[in-house]
Amino acid sequence: MAKILPRKDVVIMGLGWTGAILAQELTDAGLDVVAIERGPWRDTATDFNIGYMPDELRFAVRKDLFLSPAQEAMTMRNSISQTAMPMRDYGSFLPGNGVGGAGVHWNGFVWRFHPSDFALKTQLTKRYGARRVSELQLEDWGVSYDELEHCFDQFEYLTGTSGKAGNLNGQMIEGGNVLEGSRKRDYPTPPLKMPYASTLFIEAAKNMGLHPFPAPAANLSRPYVNPLGVSMGQCTYCGYCERFGCANYSKGTPQTTILPVLMKKKNFEVRTESEVLKINLHPDGKTARSVTYVDRAGQEYEQPGAIILLCGYGLMNVRMMLLSGIGHPYDPASGEGAVGRNYCYQTQGAGARLIFEGKHFNPFIGTGALSATIDDFNGDAFDHSKLDFVGGAGISCGSSNGRPIGYHPTPRGTPRWGSKWKKAVAETYQNSLGIGAQGSSYPVRGNYLDLDPTYKDRFGRPLLRVTFDFPDNDIRMANYMSDQLEKIGRSMNPKELTVSRASKGWNSVPYQTTHNTGGATMGANPKTSAINRYSQSWDVSNLFVLGASAFQNNAGKNPTGTVGALAYWTAEAIRDRYLKKPGALVPA
């Protein structure tokens, strides 16, 4: 039997980006907050020490910082006609494990979604007509870019984001992203120094009439003190960002931005290596009473709370709602139900590899978000009237790393092993660059999340089942992007150009991206969204669900900047509205 603990004002599942932001804001408001984190405590000085952090085998190959299937597995299939099978290892995406979550091992891109991304159904229907988007299951988010602008700003200044504004209060600024939504002020630190590969890309893009700019990065271009008084260091371009913690205190993570302040507060507590099993509701089902969790010794506890926050990785938030009987599970046959609806991924597959002679790109000098980007073909920034798809992609060229195990580009026709392979690696290492297109992912009726009817975890709970394949619209979009990559690549006059193309058949084995979105989407209609515009459950008024699970669609950008903005938006709503009058913030 679970041991019942004293009631807290706020109980948080997960202490990654969203959990840390909400804990910081709500403890500042005087609330007594506890975070329950499945993974271990992680700290920069002890866990990401410079003496052992640049260990590619341990962290990039053996995935030391990531969730293992033994802790939580999932099943996957491409369509409802298939039987889902368990993922025996996480490959396609890599959820984090421990304090900081995926905010520890991310590359550091801090994008703002385009204004049109938040009202995609309205935008595309108005511009192209309802028939044009009839194969998609689009919904607006219920919140606008303009409402979120100050929240994007908060997250950028928390993380010390390095970048250059392109649209400052409606004034277009050359060298920045002139296609971005209007912002009130510039980034807190200047852009990173562009590597040689990016400068060649910038030159080529400008010659084609495009608008390149430095990607916004939470890899700091100079020392910085954030609004919480936490000091951060200048990036050393070591090339160990993605899949690694930052030993230099120069990548924005919960450890380098919030936790040094949060952990000193008497009204905050974190319980690590403790897994939430379910959310317990009051008899009427309209409010949550507590969460049940088990610690590493196997002891079960019930932690009551006035407010419950789901701040886990997005897929885990959806599973927790389904396990707890919160909301109506989505049914792809009828199209009814909201929990599990509109699961989206990120459309990868469009890429170009360029090989030159005598360029010496020094790929080992890099950092996670070090790149130049164009948004000319992203979202609805370009006219789709004569095209056979909607959506788009950010096209980028940069240098994130040149690590010895994972980075060894070779020309076409090179053997995969042996002396000829070694010779090709040695000759190509310094002379190759890549250009990639990170595409939008739009929802369709058959892509969704639910509980698997067969497979269970070590506690006897059903696993989450992922049913997903790349929609035809998104494949057509990605192939169009491959055409643009080829044009840009050829203009750079490489010795060899290889262009890849996307195809149907999502495969969970090879790594693609950790950008899973949707399943507990936000919106204005409780029939097509699980949470309202303030991230509050339509069905359980003291439950708020944070993270990328709220996205109705995924843009051609990394999601973390928008996740951070929504976290501040939700914290503001709880502090300024809910605490004054607990209950539904939006009528159902």
Catalytic residues: 515
Helix axis angle, 560-573 to 145-159, nearest 10°: 110
For residues 466 and 73, give the distance between their C-alpha atoms in angstroms, rounded to a whole number. 11
Are residues 244 and 54 in contact, defined by beta-carbon separation less than 8 angstroms? yes
DSSP 548: G
**How many CA atoms lie within 13 Å of 401's alpha carbon, on the beta-carbon side?**
18
Assign 116 to helix, strand or coil: helix
Assign 506 to helix, strand or coil: coil
| Rounded (10°) CA dihedral 469, 474, 478, 479 | 90
Helices (H), 92-241: 102-105, 120-128, 145-159, 196-207
For residues 564 and 220, give the distance between their C-alpha atoms in angstroms, rounded to a whole number. 18
| Rounded (10°) CA dihedral 165, 168, 170, 171 | -80
First-to-last CA distance in the chain?
36
Q: Which residues contact 409 (CB under 8 A, 6 or more apart)?
A: 353, 355, 425, 428, 429, 432, 434
- The closest alpha carbon to 241, from 501, 558, 510, belongs to 558
Q: Which residues contact 164 (CB under 8 A, 6 or more apart)?
A: 173, 175, 176, 177, 186, 187, 190, 191, 213, 214
CA distances from 325 to 40, 319, 329, 450, 520 (A): 28, 10, 9, 12, 13
The token pair at 105 is: 């091992």
Residue 468 CB: number of other CB atoms within 10 A? 22
Assign 275 to helix, strand or coil: strand
CA distances from 67 to 99, 101, 118 (A): 12, 9, 30
